[in-house]
Structure 1
Amino acid sequence: MRQGSVRRQGTVPGPRGADELGWDESLYEDEGEGESSATGDGDGNPRSGGRKGTGTTRRRKGRRALRWFALVLAVLILGTAAAGYLYYEHLNGNIDTSPMPEGNRAPEATPNAAGQTPLNILLIGSDARNSAENQKLGGAKETFNGTPLADVQMLLHLSADRSNMSVISMPRDTLLQMPECTDPDTGKVYPATQGRVMTNTSLGRGGPGCTVLAWEKLTNIHINHFMMVDFAGVVSMADAIGGVPVCVDANIHSRNSKGEGSGLKLEKGTTYVQGEQALQWLRTRYGFEDGSDIGRAKAQHMYMNAMVRELRENATLSSPGKLRRLAEEATSALEVDEGLDTVKKLYDLSNELKRVPPRRITMTTMPYEYVGARVQPKPGDAEQLFRLVRDDVALDGKDSKDSKAKKKDQEKTREESASDDPAAEPAEIGVQVVNGTATPTTASVPGRASALVALLRGKGYARAAADPSQLPRQERTVVRFPGADLEGDARAVAKSLGLPPSSVEESTEVTGVTLVVGSDWRTGDVPPKPDEQDDKTPESADAMNGADDKACMHVNPNFTW
């Protein structure tokens, strides 16, 4: 029963339902009034000592107080919401973006049986000395405002089912043939290199988009996003995280007699590094192992693994102030592609990444071999590692039996499926033939597309024609089609050439039936039989598990103290 339903001396009926909303009735009582002041006699006249109309007055005051309270509450709510929106927009304004490259891209990954697709993100560390802070941190005064180099390059692969993550580092002095790139800011076109150059020069040939193209040309892995950070960005983010544990097996000072080195100085054992010291760790080459970029990549893997564990385990990151600072530093430090241009998109991506536990994260370095003082992808092993990523195979070898079975079922379904429409007669099917026969160490076979055109015409495909352009290297020969109405034609072409059904794939990158001749068919008229695939990660990839918290960098005795 509501209070207002019974007349009671000293009580003023409250607004309807006020008690149910939890408001204090005392808000509506006039200070200094006696109990009798709110009531009258049975005839509606005020009792002795009362004032006519007091109840009505108090109700009006109550309503005014309620309106005032509601107004203040509304202002506070709207003000908070506005502040939140303005801060969100402020963070969005921190983010620098560059476009992904257009054209000449590696094919997108095929969805798994559940319709999920993997995610590939290229992480780039720039050595740009384009500010006083970057110049101070990077040294080498003569390079101020010079052409930046992509001195750290890591491909992060998130599996389609989000159960595991793989990372491949490429040494900065890897020799590659650079593709044609266009600077999105100036429109300047950088032609493809005739010979091979160091991979870190890609950044100066049109920005991070060119680095993406260089990776795709080498690996044939479609890259969805990129993130780039400079020296100052590494320092600010390392400070915001609050320290990451790293380990060395001896005292280290990364500085030689010529003054070369990062300046890192640590005692033997585990140290929490942050800020400039974290940057020194990530840049150290002189002092780790053999003093090469390979040792540096290993140290970077240790740091990333430790950072992931720290972000998961450090309770202080639940602090709003800590998270706010991390958001500020991260959005200011990163340059990303336009697909990651808002805080929400970055937040959604982080939620995808954090689904993977550290024990299912595998860090690797691209298998390599020396060419003088430089390196090149190691034949066989490098391609094996790239294929595992393309095929979404976990590098830790722990794909579940269910996952492997689903992949096999998917492949079987794809091989057995056929278009509802029968194939046209060979003479009516137009076929574009593209040369994709390059390997990591050799150029495409001249005239290979024309040779396959002649082979197809001999089988009745009179409309077959060679495409003068060349795709990034294609390891496996495939027949692509743009939609279901041409699937039957594509399968007929594959069958006539002796290609397996699994070589037929739908792709938005083509407008008609397209034969892409891969590096597996560089000579002859008969395609090679596919080998039984080995899904083991090559030992030369130097795999490191994300849960390994006992890893310690080996210190070169010449850099100890």
Structure 2
Amino acid sequence: MSRERKASMPQDSQQEPSVAPRSRGRRIRRIVVWSLAGILVVCGVTAYALYSHLNGNLSKVDIDAALGTDRPKNVDNGSQDILVLGSDSRSGANKGLAGGDTGGTARSDTAMVVHIPAGRAKATAVSIPRDTLVTRPECTTEAGRKVPEAQRVMFNSVYTTAGPACVVKTVEKMSGIRMDHYVEIDFAGFKDLVDALGGVTVTTEQAINDKDSGLSLDAGTHRLDGTRSLAFVRTRHGIGDGSDLGRIGLQQKFMLALLSEIKNQGVLNSPTKLYAIADAATKALTTDSGLGSLTSLADFGKSLKGLNPDSMDTVMLPVAYDKKDPNRVVAAEPQAGDLWKALKADEPVPASAKKSPAQGG
């Protein structure tokens, strides 16, 4: 018996070292697995928090519910038409940026219909002068108040009187084109977006000196921060005849410069910069319900990745000075009708439809 015990002892001592490494290996694997799980949980919570924050920044308007069926037919030819408004609330963060009247009344300071043809490789942006006299259709405000039809009202007063859905309805009545989406950006958000980019570079062919907007630029190339960019797109007395028509050229120039800046910086390749820009942009935006989530906006943005600012055509709605009030303009025919007709058919705008009798100097 004693010999058997002695003989077995070396066998036991030989097995013991093999048990410990397996135990340590299992412990290491468990630590790695739980560490990875913890990292994934933290990353998931962080990603969700970031998504929720950006998504919560967005404001939206249910255009479809507000307008119902009283709209142009939705032509399914693959193109997209978006009404883009720059709003001037003259209150809150915008109060110090607006200049002049600070009564708190919201106004649409800038308006563009952006037509993106099927294929998404080109786009046409049509600026509507805010001093254009239009027929405002009967509308219902967000508060449920009925606003009757009115003729010869200034285009930018529609937003003040009846809200964004009525602006969409007015543009659809003017153009005969159904707007697929609505995007609104306010003054303060615009400033923050430019600052998040680190500024935007523009080139001016002539000096600009506008006491009202505070903008003073020599002819040449300039890097503008958010505050000066805002003054640039708002200036009207420092260029042309001092009307809104001269300012439209600056707004279109800046829009192309902004798009080029985003593309040239490779924003999508820098998560930190992308988040800063997304935070500024979503705080500034009000959209229709179809674009009213971060996911929808991102998907829409991806669909436009082939769009190049160099291929964007910028046009002013052809207008003529009003015969009764030379300080106002009206849509010039047949040019305006031909422009809308081309966009509706998803065809290039003919050169004749881009000529405006009123140029604003």
Superposition TM-score, scaled by structure 1 size: 0.59
- Aligned with 1:109 (options 75, 78, 101): 75
* 1:54 Cα offset (Å): 3.6
1:394 alignment partner in structure 2: 348
C-alpha contact 2:84 2:111 (8 A) present in aligned 1: yes
How far apart are the structure 2 equivalents of 1:198 and 1:319? 43
Give runs of ≥4 in structure 1 deviating > 4 Å.
Answer: none
* 1:349 Cα offset (Å): 1.4
- Aligned with 2:11 (options 25, 29, 44): 44
C-alpha contact 1:240 1:329 (8 A) present in aligned 2: yes
1:74 equivalenced with 2:18 (yes/no): no
1:171 equivalenced with 2:124 (yes/no): no
Superposition TM-score, scaled by structure 2 size: 0.90
Post-superposition Cα deviations, 1:13-35, rounded to whole Å, max 9, x if no partner, equal xxxxxxxxxxxxxxxxxxxxxxx
Aligned in 2, Cα 1:365/1:216: closer, same or farther, shift over 3 Å?
same
Number of residues of Structure 1 aligned to a counterpart in Structure 2: 346
How far apart are the structure 1 equivalents of 2:181 and 2:226? 26
* 1:198 Cα offset (Å): 0.2
Post-superposition Cα deviations, 1:396-451, rounded to whole Å, max 9, x if no partner, equal xxxxxxxxxxxxxxxxxxxxxxxxxxxxxxxxxxxxxxxxxxxxxxxxxxxxxxxx
**AA at the equivalent of 1:292:** S
SS in 2 for 1:196: strand
1:486 alignment partner in structure 2: none
Aligned in 2, Cα 1:317/1:62: closer, same or farther, shift over 3 Å?
closer
How far apart are the structure 2 equivalents of 1:150 and 1:46? 87
**AA at the equivalent of 1:203:** Y
How far apart are the structure 2 equivalents of 1:294 and 1:353? 29
How far apart are the structure 1 equivalents of 2:80 and 2:356? 21
- Aligned with 2:168 (options 212, 215, 218): 212
How far apart are the structure 2 equivalents of 1:222 and 1:248? 35
C-alpha contact 1:182 1:205 (8 A) present in aligned 2: no
Superposition CA RMSD, Å? 2.1
* 1:342 Cα offset (Å): 1.0
**AA at the equivalent of 2:348:** A
How do 1:20-39 residues align onto structure 2 when only pairs under 5 Å count? none
How do 1:111-510 residues align onto structure 2 when only pairs under 5 Å count? 111=77, 117-131=78-92, 133-141=93-101, 143-146=102-105, 148-184=106-142, 186-193=143-150, 195-255=151-211, 261-315=212-266, 318-371=269-322, 372-395=326-349
SS in 2 for 1:285: coil
C-alpha contact 1:245 1:270 (8 A) present in aligned 2: yes
SS in 2 for 1:309: helix
C-alpha contact 1:181 1:205 (8 A) present in aligned 2: no
Show structure 2 runs of 5+ residues with no match.
1-7
C-alpha contact 1:118 1:160 (8 A) present in aligned 2: yes
C-alpha contact 2:200 2:224 (8 A) present in aligned 1: yes
SS in 2 for 1:137: helix
How do 1:507-522 residues align onto structure 2 when only pairs under 5 Å count? none
C-alpha contact 1:159 1:394 (8 A) present in aligned 2: no
Q: Which has the higher contact order (CA 8 A, sep 6+)?
A: 2
SS in 1 for 2:355: helix
Identity of aligned residues (%): 32
* 1:224 Cα offset (Å): 0.8
1:96 alignment partner in structure 2: 59
How far apart are the structure 2 equivalents of 1:189 and 1:272? 46
**AA at the equivalent of 1:242:** G
* 1:42 Cα offset (Å): 11
C-alpha contact 1:165 1:394 (8 A) present in aligned 2: no
Post-superposition Cα deviations, 1:172-218, rounded to whole Å, max 9, x if no partner, equal 0100110111112x11111111x210010111233211110000011
1:540 equivalenced with 2:352 (yes/no): no
C-alpha contact 1:364 1:541 (8 A) present in aligned 2: no
How far apart are the structure 2 equivalents of 1:287 and 1:536? 28
C-alpha contact 2:335 2:353 (8 A) present in aligned 1: yes
SS in 2 for 1:46: helix
**AA at the equivalent of 2:333:** P
The structure having more radius of gyration, on CA atoms, is: 1
